[in-house]
Amino acid sequence: MRLDAALAQVLAAVPGALHAGIADLDQGLPLADAARDPVGPEQSEHLAALATAYLASAEAEALAAEAGGAGTAYDEAIALTPGRVAVFQRLPGRRGMALCVLAEGHGAPSAVAAAARGQLAALDTAERPA
């Protein structure tokens, strides 16, 4: 499956999803994205930067080290606002990349996270554009 198709599948699978993208956690930049209602490149960049801050920044590493010791890392961040849910998940096979999903306000953010998690395997093996 191609990456754009895999991201479109994320949009379909995650309840209320507005945007799904892949972020490069080393660069803090978006690599690819799909959106139900185009959110624009800036939004995509901000989400990629946010994924990097929560999962791969020095401060994130420091928090994980405080919680569990050096060499540990959180691999999922769920950020809520009163109206929206953003989920950031490291790809299991490509630890330097993360799935970023933005969804409309949801009573059960765990359902959004679980649905996104269910797509990680497909994203891991998706064919990336040259």
Asked if residue 121 binds other proteins (CB under 8 A), the reply is no
Task: In whole angstroms, give the CA distance from residue 18 to residue 27.
Answer: 23
Asked if residue 68 binds other proteins (CB under 8 A), the reply is yes
Structure tokens at 103: 């969804």
Asked if residue 122 binds other proteins (CB under 8 A), the reply is no
Contacting range for other proteins; rule: CB under 8 A; set: 4-12, 29-37, 42-50, 121-129: 42-50
Asked if residue 16 binds other proteins (CB under 8 A), the reply is no
What does the DSSP 8-state code read for residue 37? S
Task: In whole angstroms, give the CA distance from residue 101 to residue 13.
Answer: 11
Among 8, 31, 57, 122, binds other proteins (CB under 8 A): 57
Asked if residue 50 binds other proteins (CB under 8 A), the reply is yes
Among 12, 40, 59, 125, binds other proteins (CB under 8 A): 59
Asked if residue 79 binds other proteins (CB under 8 A), the reply is yes
- Say which amino acid occupies 106: H
Asked if residue 37 binds other proteins (CB under 8 A), the reply is no
Structure tokens at 122: 């497909």
The alpha carbon torsion through 94, 123, 33, 55 (nearest 10 deg) reads -40
| Nearer residue to other proteins within complex by CB, 14 or 47 | 47
Are residues 17 and 100 in contact, defined by beta-carbon separation less than 8 angstroms?
Answer: no
What is the maximum span of the chain, computed from C-alpha positions, in angstroms? 41
| Nearer residue to other proteins within complex by CB, 11 or 48 | 48
